[in-house]
Structure 1
């Protein structure tokens, strides 16, 4: 089934349409001006100060102190401190213990005195919350590197884990790719237990300095937590009797696994945390800092640094050029930019060059599947992801490229790979298929966020939308995806958003996909979604949703209006045939009224998601690309099924 464009009709508010046209033109000019000469777009990817703190602690641990770098990082960390002296993990969020502990420790390393006016309240708050002992495992591992915490009081993580076959419970491929890339090097760190004492103590962060490492209560043996606590106790006992040749072989295998996954630019998986832990692990195994692997790895870390005009330095957890570029291309095309515009052709050329053509870790579960698809970052051939692949294909189909055969071949490979990554329940995850074991999240070590990669509504929706645009609406695999999405709708009418915040993101992704795949805008599922979006629209006409909607459903659809979330809601409503509705008119008016003179929007709020609640993201380009998409569809109508109908 091919999807056809629905031509726009004059809305009830013609003035709103005229204002939207002008706003769209300004926004298109702004977005075009931000394209790199190579063809890509990339906005800053902001997380929280633990990235900056751990970067400083890494440099301290390796003996790479640079006063200018430490000063610039400390400036950024201080700038994110809350008035009460604590740190949050997202803009406007509540204080968070581990972030505050790590920020405080990093500022101490940068030279801030414990009795300084901004430091003493932070320490007092940490003590009130239970001190270092109540912080997450990752935080305590970092502190153990400097003697601020005892290694004996961190969960055991043996490197022999590398030998478990893929069918065995808790093998490394049971973990999501982001966790896998971190856990393997951390098994080396856990085995080595290094301590390079800091020049000061952190006694002021202990609730009881005389008893800094209080024992944790043991859960009942019949519970999952109790069972894994006892497993951890058994692994500690094993540490004392581990067969030395087996331990040495495991460490060598871990080193080989890490090195094999280093990317051409020196990074690991295109994300900062695995690079940090891989460098520490290899250094502990005897690789000096001048070794090519570590030299390139350290150089890659510098590329995660964003230097500000005020002299501060922020660390990105990862970079999103492929994602930003395909979203920008879709936005510009839907906003009326000609499909053969040089900016779009240049973007398509860059995206085509970024196609992943070799197997990665995903092949462990899909060994017979030929490679294809796209990753998220500049360099990440080991971990292409399904979400990016779907959106890149949607972007390529909006471009009139001079070498159409090249585009068709790349798209065909991407579609084949995506279909092959479908999970048995009919849905799609981000990086792997069947990565749904409940066991990894139960480990005492894994308290830092989501560590598995189950299918999600937002990724599945993007795949279904892409398959519909490829003329595959009637393909049984597409229909299974549609059926899964319909089953996943919340009772209130929304869909959960795994990789964006949250129900507004999920609903904004699913409704356009369902309609593209042939579900009628008049269907009960779409009508429930429309009703939910209308019910959570803010009085100012925009939409917003706070990160707190992940742990607390009362926050679903609630939050200060943002440009990106307003655009997501509008994209769903427009796909549902609500172009002339009052909610759409008010939402469009909000985007027009909040647009800045240069055609951009401001958005300090975090509307992206790494791990629900535990790791929040502010994609700085979201505030540009999604409003352009929504306004473009309001002005020009829903996009056609790419450039021409294609058979299934």
Structure 2
């Protein structure tokens, strides 16, 4: 490539960056934060309707608007998927089908006939996940006896005992406790129709193996106990479960800032006798309503539910993007963001303190309100952003120091970091029959560990720090045979590699070393013909998809961030990637990204972060142009 053409690339990149920064600034809320839409799949909407139907609070407008949305998300083959462009998914299709029947759609309607054919072909209700069958049991469409027993006595187990609630990841434990209440009380409130047409009549195949046999025997014993007239401890367990749930309700009325524990906690407390006008429940419903997104469409208004909201994550990434793009430290947009972020610091213990009782608080959560569950990933990224402006304000510097200390204290014994807890690695809970959907533990992952390592390298004592050294060793040991890293919270090997390479380089692993060279070679090998990068979510279940997929702005930016960290500024791969971002930018300075690139549970639950398509390209272009001040 000639010098002149390189100059043209830089000129075009600077223009694109200027437009992107203006667009990002325009998206900032008056309070200083950013929050993009966070899309998942229609199980959120179906379960919202079913919950409101069960509670007797569903309105005709709510039902009509959600049903209109659910219909709009159906694929041509009659199914519903868990991500854009993905294959039809059985349980998602069943829940969408039931919701549309609730809305008055006939079982003989063509769109539901197509859905039913898919469901029956894949084994019917009998083959669906436990969560789906719990929802059906609430309405008498599945027998409670045919679900795994989940005794509320689990809340009485001490934290050192296997299968206690703290063996579960935070998102799972907050869901397990209320579900134990629901499945113990076994309510049935029939729908005005049946969905028996979704049954095949075939029994589920019993899992095999030592653990399966052991848990099958345990389940039989628990079912005998459930039918026994004498149940010592049951009343105490139910009361303790209610207290446990209420103690973890957040200021916005929710639990964990995410849909599953929120919905099941509402159901559990309602079944335990709390009236709907009780402050705990009225606040919970009002808070959940703030997760609804309302849109106008040619067919009429629709409503859909965000599974979560990501303002802290979005805001710290936006602040980093502005700094990478050369923002002045006196920039009022940046100043407002920093002020808001500092105010979101969590200064009280949460469930993480069960494993780290002597650790002082000092982290950040993902959401507006989730003080019980700050996470390592958000805290590391917040500190990385704040550290670059800490000299402007002593309060910012103090918050940075507390964040660093908290992240270091949350390091697991093996040297890595999980997202919410330390040493949350007991895999026995994965064998429980209930655990057939998503991750239920929170072991260290490459992407979270990378963010913690990068934070320590930039903001703390440097290469002599033992926490940093242990984190680096963990990352080097976790590198895949092909040179990439697995991405737990983003898709997938592109995300993992895009996080790890900058972290290792910041920690002193030079670009000419074998791990970095293998990683950059993998990225270059997987660059698309158009110059971008993409990876299909199916890479979580099918290795042939690793690093393969339609180019997206966020994944292209992740690859570029790794290559730039590895000193590949002048490489053809980087210039082609920058060129792709420039060529695909919208006139308003943003980028389109229909495909999902975020991960909730690998293989099961995926997310589309609206802000990813903007903040990561800004960071990548800014670092390419050398505006970040770190090269």
Q: If the length of structure 1 is used for normalisation, what is the TM-score? A: 0.95
Match of 2:204 in 1: 216
Which structure 1 segments of 5+ residues have no match? 1-9, 209-213, 642-648
Secondary structure at 1:570's aligned position in 2? helix
Match of 2:529 in 1: 539
Secondary structure at 1:298's aligned position in 2? helix
Match of 1:555 in 2: 545
Match of 1:3 in 2: none
Pair 570,304 (structure 1): closer, same or farther in 2 beyond 3 Å = same
Matches within 5 A, 1:575-614: 575-614=565-604
Matches within 5 A, 1:77-156: 77-156=70-149
Match of 1:67 in 2: 60
Which structure 2 segments of 5+ residues have no match? none
Most deviating of 511-520 and 465-474: 465-474
Q: Does 1:280 align with 2:267?
A: yes
Runs of 4+ deviating beyond 6 Å = none
Whose RCO is larger (CA < 8 A, sep 6+)? 1
Match of 2:25 in 1: 32
Give deviations 1:97-137, integer Å, cap 9, x for gaps: 00000000011111111111211110121111111000000
Which residue of 214, 225, 237 corresponds with 1:238?
A: 225
Q: Does 1:465 align with 2:458?
A: no
Q: Equivalents in 2 of 1:439, 1:226: separation in Å?
A: 14
Q: Equivalents in 1 of 2:125, 2:629: separation in Å?
A: 53
Give deviations 1:533-586, integer Å, cap 9, x for gaps: 000000000000011101111110000000000000000000000010000011
Secondary structure at 2:425's aligned position in 1? coil
Q: Equivalents in 2 of 1:11, 1:29: separation in Å?
A: 27
Match of 1:644 in 2: none
Give deviations 1:142-185, integer Å, cap 9, x for gaps: 00001111111111000000011101001000000000000000
Pair 590,197 (structure 1): closer, same or farther in 2 beyond 3 Å = same
C-alpha displacement of 1:368: 0.7
Which residue of 157, 160, 168 corresponds with 2:161?
A: 168
C-alpha displacement of 1:219: 4.0
Secondary structure at 1:224's aligned position in 2? helix
Secondary structure at 2:625's aligned position in 1? helix
Q: Does 1:254 align with 2:247?
A: no
Which residue of 617, 623, 627 corresponds with 1:633?
A: 623
C-alpha displacement of 1:68: 1.1
Give deviations 1:190-243, integer Å, cap 9, x for gaps: 1100000000000211124xxxxx4433344x5222222222222212222374
Match of 1:76 in 2: 69
Q: Equivalents in 2 of 1:450, 1:521: separation in Å?
A: 34
Q: Equivalents in 1 of 2:193, 2:570: separation in Å?
A: 65
Q: Equivalents in 2 of 1:504, 1:365: separation in Å?
A: 32
Q: Equivalents in 2 of 1:219, 1:418: separation in Å?
A: 39
C-alpha displacement of 1:71: 1.0
Match of 2:445 in 1: 456
Secondary structure at 2:541's aligned position in 1? coil
Match of 1:5 in 2: none
Determine if contact 2:149/2:222 at 8 Å carries over to the other structure.
yes
Match of 2:183 in 1: 190
Q: Equivalents in 1 of 2:555, 2:44: separation in Å?
A: 25
Match of 1:481 in 2: 471
Determine if contact 2:79/2:93 at 8 Å carries over to the other structure.
yes
Secondary structure at 2:606's aligned position in 1? strand
Q: Equivalents in 2 of 1:461, 1:503: separation in Å?
A: 13
Q: Does 1:436 align with 2:425?
A: yes
Determine if contact 2:80/2:88 at 8 Å carries over to the other structure.
yes
Q: Equivalents in 1 of 2:524, 2:319: separation in Å?
A: 29
Which residue of 276, 281, 285 corresponds with 1:289?
A: 276
Match of 2:394 in 1: 405
Give deviations 1:242-275, integer Å, cap 9, x for gaps: 7445101100000000000001121111111111
Match of 1:46 in 2: 39
Most deviating of 109-118 and 581-590: 109-118
Determine if contact 1:272/1:304 at 8 Å carries over to the other structure.
no
Q: Equivalents in 1 of 2:207, 2:390: separation in Å?
A: 61
Secondary structure at 1:104's aligned position in 2? helix
Q: Equivalents in 1 of 2:627, 2:398: separation in Å?
A: 29
Give deviations 1:449-475, integer Å, cap 9, x for gaps: 100000000001001111111142220
Q: Equivalents in 1 of 2:231, 2:213: separation in Å?
A: 29
CA RMSD of aligned residues (A): 1.4
C-alpha displacement of 1:398: 2.7
Determine if contact 1:339/1:400 at 8 Å carries over to the other structure.
no
C-alpha displacement of 1:339: 1.7
Q: Equivalents in 1 of 2:171, 2:284: separation in Å?
A: 17
Q: Equivalents in 2 of 1:286, 1:138: separation in Å?
A: 23
Which residue of 497, 511, 516 corresponds with 1:526?
A: 516
Q: Equivalents in 2 of 1:561, 1:76: separation in Å?
A: 27
Give deviations 1:384-412, integer Å, cap 9, x for gaps: 0000000001111233674x210111111
Q: Equivalents in 2 of 1:421, 1:65: separation in Å?
A: 42
Give deviations 1:452-503, integer Å, cap 9, x for gaps: 0000000010011111111422201101100110111111110000000000
C-alpha displacement of 1:291: 0.3
C-alpha displacement of 1:301: 0.8
Q: Equivalents in 2 of 1:245, 1:175: separation in Å?
A: 25
Pair 76,219 (structure 1): closer, same or farther in 2 beyond 3 Å = closer
Q: Does 1:323 align with 2:313?
A: yes
